[in-house]
Amino acid sequence: MRHDANWHDEPTDYNQHGKLPRERVVEDHGAGLSGSLNITSSTADPALLDLPWQIRLEDWPSRYLAALPRGISRHVVRFARLGGAVIAVKETGEHVARHEYHMLRKLRRLDVPCVEPVAVIAARSTPSGEELDCALVTRHLKYSLPYRALFSQKLRRDTLTRLIDAQALLLVRLHLVGFYWGDVSLSNTLFRRDAEAFAAYLVDAETGELYPELSNGQREYDLEIARVNIAGELMDLMEAGLIEDTVDPLATSEQIMDSYRGLWAELTRKDEFDTGERWRVDERIRRLNELGFDVDEIGLRTTSDGRHLEIQPKVVDAGHHQRRLMRLTGLDVEERQARRLLNDIDAFRAARHPDMDEELAAALWVQDVFTPITRSIPKELHGKLEPAQIVHEVLEHRWYISERRGSNVPMKETVASYVQDILRHRRDEAAIMLNPPTGVLEAVDQPESRER
């Protein structure tokens, strides 16, 4: 049967009147598909037409699916292959799908950690003419995991604390740009390893809204939603015996309140100091940089007595160390990974090339340290962890075994030890396989290395 696809190229931005420019429509006739589709896409990838949109998502044949772990969702969600990439497909109402698609587009432009929207597939129907729900397509975030895939037997208390701290940081970043989430939970978040911690990414934005600025009431309501949802998720885990018996779900869920409020206060508070203590301006900026945030401008005001200054920095975004590492090396990594690698670059420069320009020393570090480590990893282990995380763990492993031996261990020996003793026992986080007969996640817990 003939298939007509109305393909709408998603505009890259809004015009000066705040309205979307007229979409360009391309007619495409695909064999093997029935009915007509309305596709709004940011990528205009013709491979989208090869997927079986005329079939209910829960009934898609296995040949289209990718074996990746799925989090808990109120909707039907499947991972599928699109060319050489993997996408997540969610069935939902058309209004909800389009709202979430555009919201994710806006968040991406604001450089907020979230999944990348690919397309909205509307006007779906079966060959018999039965209407099907709209589909929202997002790109799979490589090396990311839903929180339930981070364990299989017992979720350790310290791992749980790191997840909640990552969730709090994500919520702070969203609130700084004026995004009200409305459904904050671990289930609506993906986590990637970031040195010794985790980086959190928003997955579900269907209840979210962007405002010029959030009120304290909006922020506190989002925070209360987070506390309640996390408490419920931890209770479910405890009932299933998946967290340590010493963990109190209610008390643990309160941690996001403390973590969020402490970080928010650090980023937004006003400081007052004597006019002779002007060094405290630089101190405040350095403290914010250490937290991973950049400062756009500083507001200084002299008090009425003329003896004190008030300072309030305007924080623009997280990613201070990421941006510095990108500028020096071109490596695009998570924030804590970047900080760890920058420390090694600084040590490398001080030990070998103290008089060399910073950019040249960083280029030599990539050539002499980063690249040799990544090239030393056996090909069959490349999917275990992303390269920056591997380099971080190798550097930590070198420190550990050197301390144990009482002398510096050569890097070649360090890498061999790390590969044999640690990396081979880690699970693939680039593509965690599903159990073929059942489609259930084979959640094999990875052993924690001694450095952790």
Within 8 A by CB and 6+ apart from 122, the residues are 37, 38, 39, 40, 94, 97, 98, 134
Q: CA 417, 421, 427: angle at the middle one, nearest 5?
A: 125
DSSP secondary structure of 69-95: -----SS-EEEEEETTEEEEEEEE-HH
Extended strands (E) in 261-307: 271-274, 293-302
The answer to whether 110 and 103 are in contact (CB under 8 A) is no
The CA distances from residue 209 to 4, 71, 102, 279, 369, in Å, are: 33, 23, 10, 40, 44
DSSP string, 146-203: EGGGG-SS-B-HHHHHHHHHHHHHHHHHHHHTTEE-S---STTEEEEEETTEEEEEE-
Q: Where are the domains of the chain?
A: 3-141, 145-266, 269-318
Neighbour tally for 380: CB within 10 Å? 9
Tokens matching residue 76: 């039907």
| pLDDT per residue rounded down to tens, the chain (452 residues) | 334 455 444 444 434 344 433 333 333 333 345 567 888 887 767 888 889 999 999 999 988 888 765 555 677 899 898 887 889 999 999 999 999 999 999 999 988 999 999 999 999 999 888 999 999 999 998 888 888 777 555 566 777 888 898 999 999 999 999 999 999 999 999 998 888 788 899 999 999 999 999 999 999 999 999 999 999 998 888 887 777 778 888 988 999 999 999 889 888 877 777 766 766 777 777 777 777 776 666 676 777 776 666 766 666 567 778 888 888 898 888 888 888 898 899 888 888 888 898 899 999 999 999 999 999 999 888 878 889 999 999 999 998 898 888 888 889 999 999 998 889 877 666 554 333 333 333 333 333 333 33
Rounded alpha-carbon distances, angstroms, from residue 100 to 206, 223, 270, 451: 5, 21, 35, 40
Report yes or no: 53 and 127 within 8 Å, Cβ to Cβ: no
Burial 268-285 (b: 16+ CB within 10 A, else e): eeeeebeeeeeebbeebb
pLDDT of residue 25: 34
CA distance 227 to 365: 43
Q: Are 339 and 323 in contact (CB under 8 A)?
A: no
* Cβ contact 69:149 at 8 Å: yes
Cα–Cα distance measured from residue 144 to residue 295, given in angstroms and rounded to the nearest whole number: 29
Does the global pTM surpass 0.85?
no
* Token digits of residue 390: 């591997």
Q: How far apart are CA 69 and CA 66, in angstroms?
A: 9
Position 202 scores a pLDDT of 96
pLDDT in the model for residue 443: 33
Q: Is 100 helix (H, G, I), strand (E, B) or coil?
A: helix
Cα–Cα dist 206/213, whole Å:
19
Residues forming beta bridges with residue 314, ordered by sequence position: 297
pLDDT in the model for residue 11: 42
Q: Which two tokens stand for residue 141?
A: 């975030």
Contact at 8 Å (CB) between 166 and 191? yes
Res 452: pLDDT: 36
CA atoms within 13 A on the CB side of 77: 20
Q: What is the DSSP string of 112-133?
A: -SBPEEEEEEES-B-TT--B--
At 439 the pLDDT is 34
Instruction: Name the region of 328 (left: φ>0; alpha: ψ -120 to 50; beta: rest).
Output: alpha
Q: What is the CATH number of domain 145-266?
A: 1.10.510.10
* Token pair for 327: 């500028």
Which residues, in sequence order, are CB contacts of 63 under 8 Å at separation 6+?
A: none
Q: Which two tokens stand for residue 188?
A: 């609506």
Contact 24, 8 (CB under 8 A): yes
